A and B are shown apart, each in its own frame.
Chain A
Amino acid sequence: MPIPTAVTTSGNAADGLVQTVLVVDDEPTARIALAARLKRLGYRVIEAGDGMAGLDALRRERPDLTIVDWMMPEMDGPSFCESVRQDPALVSSQILMMTGNDQPEQIAEGLARGADDFLSKAASKHEITARVQAGLRSATLIRRLEDATEEITRKQEALERELQSAARYVETLLPVSGRVVPGVQMARIYRPSLALGGDLFNIVPWSDDFLGLYLLDASGHGVSPALRSSSFATFLRRDSLLRHVGSNDPGAILTEANKQFPLTESGHYFTIVFASLDLRCHILSYAAAGHSGALLHRRSGEVCWLTQPNLPLGFDSSTTYVTATLPIAPGDRLYLLSDGLYECPTADGELWGQDRLETTIRALGQQSLETVIAETIAEAVRWQGHEQFPDDVALMGVEIAV
């Protein structure tokens, strides 16, 4: 098998980098003559005596430009080009096809089968120089593009890893399903629309018979809302609330939060529902700011949405949020949820809606809390026809047994 690949290095190209040209031709005389001319022009030259040897050299040496003869036994020039274009590792190679017969139809065929340009065997020294330089200019641009793409991919991967790590952190802010205090169970599902979500929720025992719980939604998607949410979650910690608000009252907490978290300069804000459960007196207290994602499913079957139309946080610093109360009984369940759950659309844009959500929860009745949570999400997924919610989705259920 003839693999005559001779490598010769001569002078430098104008920009100080030696560029490499591969010459593939079965006729030794023509090949050697062209190689010599290219060497005189300052290029590093690799020679191959047939198409297969040319492909090997191309893979091994990654030359900047390949000049291939049309007429060769076994693998001719156009077939060589086709092989190159089918190989993902070689596809961007610059190929100059040499031919003695430069009819328009032949040129069209050569270009269609993968050549980038043509070089007539009768070309003058000046034309050869000019075409080789043109090919190398393209090759340089393509290399730069490839390098830039590789760089972007690498940075993108690094960013993804950062986001995943931040997402794991956000997960640690969420409560763990199970028993919160004796007689109170919690189950929840969290499905952020991107790796990082702007919805957060929590349930915290402030004493054995008093619980604080909330679900908040930062407007927007991605890193910025996630950061704002986690800062808000810090504000909502028990010690911080005692310091800033000095009260367990949901209305007082939201009235203060409204002052602490004004509208951002790009118009971002929070909506939130905040509730407290007094297990001794059996009273649910709540306040909401632009959020209508809370419902009480009583053991009796009655469903009661905790709606309280009021401005989202940060819209007007003078807003006072008022606490509403409801009596609760053993067996009642409280659900806090993101609007992303009932606002998931079908392909036609029809939203699932609060009514269908309510019907689903009613139909699931007194099945275990975990089942109700999982099946409600599954029903919303069936409605929209795919797994990925367009907005953050959180659903937390709390069952009061005492």
Chain B
Amino acid sequence: MSMHTKERPVPNGVILDMAGDLTYANREQFKTAVETIRQKGCRHLILNMAEVRFVDSSGLGLLALVSQNFKLSQGKVSMLKPQSYVREIMSLASIQKLIPIYDNEQDALGGQQRAA
């Protein structure tokens, strides 16, 4: 399945609404969407995973890469509302140690304020 992304500015950050699968086949699309946001100087990227059904091992690597790249430019990445299967994949790989996971936008933005 392909992936669609849409960026949405919020106070002190950008929410990237994602729909589809975060997999090897869609890696370039995801990388481009995220890089565009980072190069605009965004300090807090919030990945809205509510409509993402599946993340494969490639997708997991991309999430780690994105988190590392944002860290290098003094930014951070958070994740919003992953579905239960995706949440399980994230938890097995302990992704929350790199990318905090939130259940609503308010908390995700609040997390950013605490970090600031």
Contacts of B92 in A (CB 8 A): 290, 292, 307, 309
Q: A263-B68, A290-B94 are in contact. Are A312 and B60 (CB under 8 A)?
A: yes
Which B residue's beta carbon lies closest to that of A217?
A: B57
- Check A311/B97 contact, CB under 8 A, given A220-B24, A292-B92: yes
A267 an interface residue at 8 Å Cβ cutoff? yes
Contact B93 A309 (CB under 8 A): yes
Instruction: Say whether B10 faces chain A, with CB atoms less than 8 Å apart.
Output: no
Decide if A267 touches B94 in the complex (CB within 8 Å): no
Mark interface residues in A331-369 (1 if CB within 8 Å of B CB, else 0).
Answer: 000000001000000000000000000000000000000
Q: CA separation between A305 and B100, bound complex, in Å?
A: 27
Q: Which of the four size classes fits the interface of chain A?
A: 20 to 34
List of A residues within 8 angstroms of B94 by Cβ = 290, 309-311
Assess whether A267 is in contact with B93, with CB atoms less than 8 Å apart: no
**Residue in chain A with minimal CB distance to B93:** A290
CB of B73 within 8 Å of the partner chain: no
**Contact (Cβ within 8 A) A263 B91:** no
The interface residues of chain B lying within 8 Å CB-to-CB of A271 are: 57, 93
The reply to whether the CB of B58 lies closer than 8 angstroms to some CB of chain A is yes
A307 closest partner in B (C-beta): B92
B61 within 8 A of A: yes
User: B25 — which chain A residues lie within 8 A by C-beta?
Assistant: none
By a CB distance below 8 angstroms, the chain A residues around B95 are 311
Q: Which residue of B lies closest to A265 (CB)?
A: B65
Contact across chains for B64 and A269 when beta carbons are under 8 A apart: yes
Question: Is B98 part of the binding interface, using a Cβ–Cβ cutoff of 8 Å?
Answer: yes
CB distance from A352 to the nearest CB of B (A): 15
Task: Report the bound CA distance from A316 to B98 in whole Å.
Answer: 8
Per the bound structure, the CA–CA distance linking A307 and B93 in Å amounts to 11
Chain A residue numbers with a CB within 8 Å of B27 are 267
Contact B62 A312 (CB under 8 A): no
CA distance A30 to B58 in the complex (A): 69
- The verdict on A267 contacting B24 (CB below 8 Å), with A219-B57, A310-B94, A316-B98 known, is no
Bound-state CA distance A316–B91 (Å) is 15
The secondary-structure label for the interface of chain B is helix
CB-nearest residue of chain A relative to B63?
A267
Please provide the chain B residues from 44 to 93 with a CB less than 8 Å away from any CB of chain A in the complex: 57-58, 60-62, 64-65, 68, 91-93
The 8 A CB mask of A306-328 against B (1 = contact, 0 = none) is: 01011110111001000000000
Q: Is A268 an interface residue (CB 8 A)?
A: yes
* B64: A residues at CB distance < 8 A: 263, 267, 269, 311-312, 314-316
**Which residues of chain B are within 8 angstroms of A267 by Cβ–Cβ distance?**
27, 58, 61-62, 64-65
Looking at A217, A292, A314, A316, the one whose CB has the most chain B CB atoms below 10 A away is A316
Interface flags, A154-168, vs B, CB<8A=1, else 0: 000000000000000
Q: Let me know if B61 and A311 touch, CB within 8 A.
A: no
* CB closest residue in chain A, given B67: A315
Asked whether, in the complex, the Cβ of B91 is within 8 Å of the Cβ of A219, the reply is: no
**Most chain B C-beta atoms within 10 Å of own C-beta, residue among A307, A314, A315, A339:** A315
Report which of B24, B65, B98 forms a contact with A311, defined as CB distance below 8 A: B98
Knowing A263-B65, A269-B64, A316-B98 touch, does A220 contact B58 (C-beta < 8 A)? yes
Closest to B90 in A: A309
A290 to B57, CA, bound (A): 10
* Cα–Cα distance between A12 and B9 once the two chains are bound (Å): 69
Closest to A317 in B: B68
Name the CB-closest residue of B to A309: B94
Cα A290 to Cα B24 in complex, Å, equals: 18
**Chain A proximity of B65: nearest CB distance (Å):** 4
Q: List residues of chain A with CB within 8 A of the CB of B58.
A: 219-220, 267-268
* Residue of A220, A266, A268, A311 touching B93 (CB-CB under 8 A): A311
Q: Which residues of A contact B98 (CB under 8 A)?
A: 311, 315-316
Note all chain A residues with C-beta closer than 8 A to B91: 309
Q: How far is the CA of A174 from the CA of B58 in the complex (A)?
A: 25
Which are the 3 A-B pairs with shortest beta-carbon distances?
A267-B61, A267-B65, A315-B64
Interface residues of chain A, those whose CB is within 8 Å of chain B, are 217, 219-220, 263, 266-269, 271, 290, 292, 307, 309-312, 314-316, 319, 339
Q: List 14 A-B contacts (CB under 8 A).
A: A219-B57, A219-B58, A219-B60, A219-B61, A263-B64, A290-B60, A292-B92, A309-B93, A311-B98, A312-B60, A312-B64, A312-B93, A314-B64, A339-B57
